Amino acid sequence: MLPLLCARFPAFAGPEADGKDAFTLEIRGKSIEVFTYRPKNFDGGRLIVVMHGMNRNARDYLDNAVTLGDRFGALIAAPAFDLGQFPVEAYQRGGVTRDSKPQPESEWTFRYVWDVVGEMRRREDRPGMECRLIGHSAGGQFLTRLAGFMPGDAVRIIAGNPGNLLFPTHDMPFQYGFGGLPEALAGDDALKSYLAAPLTLYLGLDDTGTANLDMTENAMRQGATRIERGRACFRMGEALAREKGWPFGWRLVEAPGVAHDSKALFAHPQAAEALFGGSSGALEPH
């Protein structure tokens, strides 16, 4: 049986409309408001889904991502995962565990991201529209776990300035690594899949502060700052892939002069490299 999925007005205005809009997706008992931006130069080719931080301020994230839409001719969607429906375990940790107990895939929050992507494609009547995901801070944390467990058909998954990450190791418990998860989620096949995922760690070089930073023991094992943690995660993934002879799909992109600021990270020239680098001709705006 297909899950119930419907939109509640105000509805998305459709392919002929430009500018900002919003709709609400009702699915599997959840209500997710989705803020959208359609630039005048959108040609139907690109979708960028933006994941908000710990303040759950999706509308602000849409505003910060307008520059990405205008620059790259991309449709922008910023879903709101409110705290009441999606507490920290469900958002930052993706719902993979609850009270430290692994949950079935049907309970993972990642599924709702792909519901949003599917709805945007349906509304555009473009089932093959390219999709990239970008998140900042808590949204970046969420996307490292999405890359590990449900990357879908994303062309690129960009985790910006995450405070902690999913390291490809069993030596740290989930959420920090794969420790404590069942074989199906943490065995070699799972790690190989994670390292092959199109994950980009997009880090502001000035993000060295500790405000709202996870300072727990396992987080500090990843590094003292966000930039240290991101670099360490990348190095570990790169080394493991080389050791095992596995494909490595990750990329590391750094933005000089950017601290813990989603607006600055999205507006930085390096955003082009984070979103489109490595794709032939992809740096050219549509």
Give the DSSP H or E segment for 272: helix 270-276
Please report which confidence band the pLDDT of residue 18 belongs to, taking 50, 70 and 90 as the band edges: low
Per-residue b/e over 145-179, b at no fewer than 16 CB within 10 Å?
A: bbbbbbbbebebbbbbbbbbbbbbbeebebbbbbe
Model confidence over 100-153: pLDDT tens digits?
A: 999 999 999 999 999 999 999 999 999 999 999 999 999 999 999 999 999 999
What residue type is assigned to position 15 of the chain?
P
Which domains does the chain possess? 38-276 (3.40.50.1820)
Q: H or E element: which one contains 229?
A: helix 226-244
Alpha carbon distance 187, 181 (integer Å) = 9
pLDDT digits 0-9 by tens, 141-200: 999 999 999 999 999 999 999 999 999 999 999 999 999 999 999 999 999 999 999 999
Mean pLDDT of 9-18: 44
By 3-state DSSP, what share of the chain in percent is helix, strand and coil, each rounded to 5?
A: 35, 20, 45
**Contact partners, residue 261, CB within 8 Å, separation at least 6:** 204
**Helix 110-124 vs helix 138-149: angle between axes, to the nearest 10 degrees?**
90
The SS3 call for residue 159 is: strand
H or E, element range at 253: strand 251-255
Calculate what percentage of the chain has a pLDDT beyond 90: 90
Residues 59-79: tens digit of each pLDDT: 999 999 999 999 999 999 999
